[in-house]
Amino acid sequence: MRYIIIILFFCFSATAIAQTFQFNGKVIDEKNGKPLVGVNLILEELKIGTSTDALGEFKFTKIPKGNYILVCSFIGHKNVKQTITIDKDQSIVIEMKEGTVNLAEVIVTGNPFASDPKEISQSTLTIANLEMQIKRGMNLGTTLNHQPGISMRSNGIATARPVIRGFSNNRILILENGLRMGDLSNSSDDHTVSGDGSSPEKIEVLRGPASLLYGNNALGGVVNIITESIPNYLPTGFDGNINLSSST
């Protein structure tokens, strides 16, 4: 009796495994009824796919009985998602509508994590507070001189201008409170930067690829001079600063 049960069990299992069906069909354009060639079709649950031939026809073989979601995609047409019940050999016709398809953006980047360029770590430098008081010079060039990656270009102490990684003039963008200064120091060596170097409360220097977000004249870097010309607080009394400097 035991052997009979085992034999029947294997026969039933073989029958269940062998119970597969063929599923085919045709994909046409809804507007003109013409067959669509190269349509991609995927049965999501089984993770198998195929594409239509020159006649717009497709075929799936050896599909087990069950319910499946069929996804059809084709450039220039809207995606079609349809539930298919497989319990016998069958054939269907799928119509696809023309439509705009938003293709995924392809980013070519040296960043392996495909992060937003603005979020990539950049080389920055900030001089403020006590450091600003100690290193403050007569002008911007002398204040930033000898900082990492920064030197000074000068035809005299009065016309000093920063040089960042070998770039100067119109390759360095100098801002004051985030706005372009628009002076002549970027085009001529005998003109000084408009700021006198005594008023900044903080100086920010941005180097690297992120500086190009400010334009092509920021190839070497960006220097932002932050002052208190427009106070960001309400004073409660009288205050002020006295700065002494000298040069030869």
Pairing of β 40-43 and β 48-51: antiparallel
Domain ranges of the chain: 18-96, 117-226
Among the ranges given (32-36, 85-89, 223-227), the one the predictor scored with the smallest mean pLDDT: 223-227
Half-sphere exposure (CA, 13 Å, Cβ side) for 237?
A: 1
Kindly tell me if the per-residue pLDDT of 26 is higher than 90: yes
Dist. CA 231–CA 208, nearest whole Å: 31
Q: How far from 134 is each of 9, 107, 128, 222, 243, CA to CA, in Å?
A: 90, 45, 10, 22, 11
Q: What is the DSSP letter of 217?
A: G
Helix (H, G, I), strand (E, B) or coil at 71: strand
Question: DSSP for 122-157?
Answer: -EEEEEEHHHHHHH--SSHHHHHTTSTTEEEE-SSG
**Domain 117-226: which CATH number of 3.20.20.70, 2.170.130.10, 3.40.50.300, 2.40.240.10:** 2.170.130.10
Reported pTM: 0.46
Dist. CA 242–CA 248, nearest whole Å: 21
pLDDT category at 195 given cuts 50, 70, 90 is: low
Residue with tokens 């079709």: 41
Kindly tell me if the per-residue pLDDT of 16 is higher than 50: no
The pLDDT tens digits for 95-121 are 999 886 566 665 555 555 556 655 655
Residue 176: strand pairing partners: 179, 225
Predicted local distance difference test score (pLDDT) of residue 149: 80
Kindly tell me if the per-residue pLDDT of 68 is higher than 50: yes
Identify the architecture of domain 18-96 in CATH. Answer: Sandwich (2.60)
Kindly tell me if the per-residue pLDDT of 28 is higher than 50: yes
Is 117-226 the same fold as 18-96? no
For all residues of the chain together, what is the average pLDDT?
77
Among the ranges given (4-13, 87-96, 159-168, 205-214), the one the predictor scored with the smallest mean pLDDT: 4-13
